[in-house]
A = this chain, B = another copy of it.
Amino acid sequence: MEDRKKDHIDLAFKSQVAAPHSDSRFSYEPLMGSHMQGVLEPFPFLGKTMRVPIWVSSMTGGTALARTINTNLARACNEFGMGMGLGSCRILLEKEEYFADFDMRSIIGDDLPFYANIGIAQLERMLQDGTYHKLIGLVERLRADGLIIHVNPIQEWLQPEGDLLHHAPFSIVEEFLSLTKMKVIVKEVGQGMGPESIRKILSLPIEALEFAAFGGTNFASVELQRSTPEQQELFGPLALIGHTAEEMLGVVNEMVDSKQAIQCKQVIISGGVKTFLDGYYLTNRCKLPSIYGQASGFLKFARG
């Protein structure tokens, strides 16, 4: 105890936090409750049973690292009761040899939600050339609970190897839903979505909307860092376009409040969620059943 008290004196001067920095989202009521004891209650989400309201957002990782990263993430999910989305599984459609890198069901276990992932442009192509059943087969082989479709038109446009879309992503998703009974999650990749897109997608019978909002990893910015300084200057402003989780949450809640028809009944709040307090704050305010997700926040611990 003496040590702790001595520390206090030395640290007190380094621990001055100025008043304007207080987190005004929360009211601190030290007199009103006791500490929580024990653990959270398990709860149903995405048709499975989770033990904490946390989602590991989709990340692909270069094939060499992919297995390590995915294995580490799946183990953490299993240990703590989180759900997990795979990064893009496109490579598996062509090269069977990478299957083991994504084959995480046995590690995460059967009780927790586990989803495959494909890009909207790839899905459009497979719908057009009639090969979309390969996706269904892939999800089955991975024993995934369903498919995440990431909708990323800015990233595709900025990316030299990117694909252009010929139809509105909304109608591509709709067509896919009409052809299969697979559970589908729709997400962006870090720019979020505006009100119109949110309203459209919540009106469809998808399993969940994942925000993948603006404010965290920015994929437009990732792509730009791979291009020339001229392109960075020219296209840099595109990386600043987007919608934050807080903004998107506002649109969702407003739809609920105004009793608009919503077929999608679950939400994964993600993109720029920096801390558990952010997640707690946002899920608490969400008027649809929700959990929160992080991608880069997990990545730093999953590589080693």
Type the 1/0 row for A147-188, where 1 means its CB is closer than 8 Å to any CB of B: 000011110110101001111111001000000000000101
- In whole Å, how far is A10's beta carbon from the nearest beta carbon of chain B? 9
Within 8 A of B (CB), among A1-40: 1-9, 11-19, 21-23, 26-35, 37
A136 to B304, CA, bound (A): 55
Within 8 A of B (CB), among A47-84: 59-66
Among the listed stretches A103-111, A137-145, A237-245, which one makes contact with chain B, having 4 or more residues with CB under 8 Å of it? A237-245
Q: Tell me, yes or no, whether A219 is within 8 Å of chain B by CB.
A: yes
A13 to B240, CA, bound (A): 16
A32 touches B197 (CB 8 A): yes
Count of residues in A whose CB is under 8 Å from the partner chain: 101
Q: Tell me, yes or no, whether A216 is within 8 Å of chain B by CB.
A: yes
Type the 1/0 row for A245-288, where 1 means its CB is closer than 8 Å to any CB of B: 11000000000000000000000000010111110000000000
Report chain B residues within 8 Å CB of A26. Answer: 241
- In whole Å, how far is A85's beta carbon from the nearest beta carbon of chain B? 15
On whether A216 and B16 interact (CB within 8 A), knowing A28-B242, A35-B156, the answer reads yes
A22 touches B242 (CB 8 A): yes
On whether A15 and B221 interact (CB within 8 A), knowing A4-B161, A27-B195, the answer reads yes
Report chain B residues within 8 Å CB of A173. Answer: 31
B275 touches A237 (CB 8 A): yes
Q: Tell me, yes or no, whether A191 is within 8 Å of chain B by CB.
A: yes
- In whole Å, how far is A296's beta carbon from the nearest beta carbon of chain B? 5
B303 touches A17 (CB 8 A): no
Report chain B residues within 8 Å CB of A11. Answer: 222, 225-226
A217 touches B9 (CB 8 A): no
Q: Tell me, yes or no, whether A196 is within 8 Å of chain B by CB.
A: yes
A196 touches B17 (CB 8 A): no
B19 touches A215 (CB 8 A): yes
Report chain B residues within 8 Å CB of A296. Answer: 12-13, 16
Q: Which 10 A-B pairs have the closest CB atoms?
A: A6-B62, A19-B215, A27-B194, A31-B197, A35-B164, A5-B62, A15-B221, A17-B218, A23-B240, A31-B170
